[in-house]
Amino acid sequence: MSEIITLSHGSGGILTHRLIDSIFMKNFANDIINAEDDSARLDIASGRIAFTTDSFVVSPVFFKGGDIGKLAVCGTVNDLVAGGAVPLYLSCGFILEEGLEMRELERIAESMAQTARECGVKIVAGDTKVVQKGAADKVYINTSGIGLIHKAANVSGAFARPGDKVIVTGTIGDHGSAIFLEREKLSITTDLKSDCAPLNQMMERIFDNIADLHALRDPTRGGLATALNEIAGQSDVGIVLKEPDIPVRDEVIGICELLGLDPLYMANEGKMVIIVPETSANAVLDLLTAHEYGRDARIIGEVVGTHKKKVVLKTVTGGHRVVDMLSGDILPRIC
């Protein structure tokens, strides 16, 4: 097989079939995926399903803590989780740039397969297109996903209520900062890496044990500030954050200070925002901190009836400042 992707790999003919067999089917094999029919067929128990889609254009394709393939699986899995669902099936659509090295594509496919195994989700449908050199940047991946809504997870960004606690499942800004470091080749010695992780298993334990979750959100592009502004807007409430309680790694603070950025706007790819009544907040926290991906979970603030549709930060020095939704774009192609 040739060592780079050519336009013929996107023709739908022999080379497309070979590419699918040698890279995708080899890695994604399961009892459902079938390279030869036009649709996957799935048995679904009667009920409510969640359906979501996300395209990934992150640059660079490989970074500390992950790569575009791991990100594409985690991103869609976490979106399903944020909808209160247990993720089951993913599709993947590749747009490849002519000239992409086959071994890079294979590494990405292996990473997707490994992440899907870790999550317990199956990749059941796929598509591959190739565009000429200069009409993409290496590889873009769309993943769409189907999950089964958990019976106990009746969540929406519109369900936050005054008195609820705001929990974040760990340190913020790791993904955005790691991508930035990778891109700019800054000569900073750090262990910082993307937090890219699938949260379904950790969150399924929450769904199984906590009956009154109100809202969940995956604070990716736009960061924690944007996710909370969305919830404040949807629920017509205010959200007050206590700055000292927000977990941020020292390296992230350092990078943000250097660049004039704010960790509140930096993307996360393995974090969840959880809005839950005060009476359940500690139980949620206990379940989170017992899990690898929730070790640094913290209650960071609360929902209030004032400051409607606004997020307010009580700063370390005792001041108050309104934290708006992200405007402009601090780091393009972060995911």
Residues 241, 167 contacting (CB under 8 angstroms): no
Report in angstroms how near the CB of residue 90 gets to its own copies at its nearest: 9
**List 230, 243, 251, 269, residue binding its own copies (CB under 8 A):** 230
Instruction: Bin 309: left if φ > 0, else alpha if -120 < ψ < 50, else beta.
Output: left
Tell whether residue 24 is a contact of its own copies (CB under 8 A): no
Tell whether residue 168 is a contact of its own copies (CB under 8 A): no
Q: Which stretch binds its own copies (CB under 8 A): 32-40, 107-115, 190-198, 302-310?
A: 32-40
Considering only residues 80 through 139, tell me which ones interact with its own copies, judged by CB under 8 A: 80, 82-83, 85, 89, 91-95, 124-127, 129-132, 134-137
Q: Could you say which DSSP state residue 325 is in?
A: P
Residues 63, 84: Cα–Cα separation, whole Å: 29
Q: Which is nearer to its own copies, 93 or 254 (CB)?
A: 93
List all residues 6 or more positions away from 105 whose beta carbon is below 8 Å from its beta carbon. 5, 23, 94, 96, 139
Report in angstroms how near the CB of residue 82 gets to its own copies at its nearest: 4
Q: Which stretch binds its own copies (CB under 8 A): 54-62, 248-256, 292-300, 301-309?
A: 54-62
Report in angstroms how near the CB of residue 250 gets to its own copies at its nearest: 25
Residues 240, 304: Cα–Cα separation, whole Å: 7
Size of the site for its own copies (CB under 8 A): 86
Considering only residues 237 through 276, tell me which ones interact with its own copies, judged by CB under 8 A: 265, 267
Give the strands of the sheet with 139-149, arranged side by side: 122-131, 85-97, 139-149
Tell whether residue 45 is a contact of its own copies (CB under 8 A): yes
Phi, psi of 111, rounded to the nearest 5 degrees: -65, -40
Report in angstroms how near the CB of residue 106 gets to its own copies at its nearest: 19
Q: Which is nearer to its own copies, 140 or 180 (CB)?
A: 140
Tell whether residue 22 is a contact of its own copies (CB under 8 A): no
- For 233, the token pair is 């807007």
**List 22, 30, 114, 156, residue binding its own copies (CB under 8 A):** 156
Q: Which is nearer to its own copies, 201 or 234 (CB)?
A: 234
Residues 84, 50 contacting (CB under 8 angstroms): yes
Residues 101, 88: Cα–Cα separation, whole Å: 31
Report in angstroms how near the CB of residue 95 gets to its own copies at its nearest: 5
Considering only residues 276 through 295, tell me which ones interact with its own copies, judged by CB under 8 A: none
Tell whether residue 46 is a contact of its own copies (CB under 8 A): yes
- Identify the CA nearest to 83 among candidates 113, 125, 53: 53
- The dihedral formed by the CA atoms of 77, 79, 82 and 88, expressed in degrees to the nearest 10: -40
Tell whether residue 318 is a contact of its own copies (CB under 8 A): no
- Helix H or strand E segment including 276: strand 273-276
x/- letters, 175..204, toward its own copies (CB under 8 A):
------------------------------
Residues 247, 202: Cα–Cα separation, whole Å: 19
From the CB of residue 241, how many other CB atoms can be counted at a distance below 10 Å? 23
Q: Which stretch binds its own copies (CB under 8 A): 1-9, 105-113, 188-196, 309-317?
A: 1-9
Residues 15, 8: Cα–Cα separation, whole Å: 6
Q: Could you say which DSSP state residue 315 is in?
A: -
Q: Which is nearer to its own copies, 42 or 188 (CB)?
A: 42
